[in-house]
Amino acid sequence: MTLRKSFGTDFPTLAQVAKGLKLTDEQLGSLDELILQTPKGHEKAAAQKWVDENKAFVDEAFTGL
């Protein structure tokens, strides 16, 4: 993942989380599949659905924010 140059300065904690974020092939595949199968314009809702279905992973990844 490439972040814009000032992102780390503007959001240092979130930048650290983003740099360390690791998804398994299964997790990434399920997110990708869900978004690709979603009608255009509803990708945000699909991503939120994935977050809801993977709450433990998301909670752990974003602890401290």
**pLDDT of amino acid 18:** 84
**pLDDT of amino acid 59:** 92
Burial class (CB in 10 A: 0-12, 13-18, 19+), 40: exposed
**pLDDT of amino acid 58:** 93
DSSP state of 38: S
**pLDDT of amino acid 2:** 61
- Measured between alpha carbons, how far is 34 from 31 in angstroms, rounded to an integer? 5
Q: What is the pLDDT along the chain (65 residues), one digit of tens a residue?
A: 565 778 889 988 888 888 888 999 999 999 999 999 999 999 999 999 999 999 999 999 888 77
